[in-house]
Amino acid sequence: MFVTRLISGIVLVIIALIALFTGGYVLAGLLLFLSLTAYRELMKACKLSDDAGKVSSMEIIGYVGIVIYYLFMVFTKEREFLFLTLIMILVAFMFLYVFTFPRYRAEQIMCSFFNVAYGPLMLSFIYLVRDLEYGAYMVFMIFISSWICDTCAYVVGMLIGKHKMAPKLSPKKSVEGAIGGVAGSVLVGALFGYFLMAPLTGNGGTTWIFALIGGVGAVISQVGDLAASAIKRNHEIKDYGKLIPGHGGVMDRFDSVIFTAPIIYLLLLVFV
Q: Summarize the confidence of residues 76-85 as an average pLDDT.
A: 92
Q: Is 174 helix (H, G, I), strand (E, B) or coil?
A: strand
Are residues 114 and 203 both part of a single domain?
A: no
Nearest of 207, 222, 208, 212 to residue 151 by alpha carbon: 222
Q: Summarize the confidence of residues 207-235 as an average pLDDT.
A: 93
pLDDT digits (tens, 9 = 90+) for 86-126: 999 999 999 999 999 999 999 999 999 999 999 999 999 99
**DSSP designation for 54:** P
Q: Which of 66, 97, 131 is the last residue of a domain?
A: 131
Predicted confidence at residue 164, as pLDDT, reads 87
Q: What percent of the chain is modeled with pLDDT above 90?
A: 68
Q: Summarize the confidence of residues 23-28 as an average pLDDT.
A: 96
Element housing 164 (H / E): strand 164-166
- pLDDT range class, residue 236, cuts 50, 70, 90: confident
Are residues 158 and 272 both part of a single domain?
A: yes
Helical spans, DSSP H, in the chain: 2-22, 24-45, 57-75, 80-99, 106-116, 122-123, 125-130, 135-138, 140-143, 149-160, 175-192, 198-201, 206-234, 250-253, 255-271
Q: Which of 131, 157, 185 is the last residue of a domain?
A: 131
Of residues 63 and 171, more confidence is placed in 63
Are residues 245 and 149 both part of a single domain?
A: yes
Look at the chain and report how many structural domains it folds into. Answer: 2
- Structural domain range at position 252: 134-272
pLDDT digits (tens, 9 = 90+) for 143-159: 989 989 988 998 998 88
Q: Which of 131, 151, 175 is the last residue of a domain?
A: 131
- Secondary structure (DSSP) of 75-118: H---THHHHHHHHHHHHHHHHHHHHTTTSS-HHHHHHHHHHHII
pLDDT averaged over the chain?
91
Residues 90 and 115 sit within 8 Å (Cβ to Cβ): no
Are residues 44 and 6 both part of a single domain?
A: yes
Residues 62 and 116 sit within 8 Å (Cβ to Cβ): yes
Predicted confidence at residue 51, as pLDDT, reads 61
Are residues 123 and 180 both part of a single domain?
A: no
- pLDDT range class, residue 205, cuts 50, 70, 90: confident
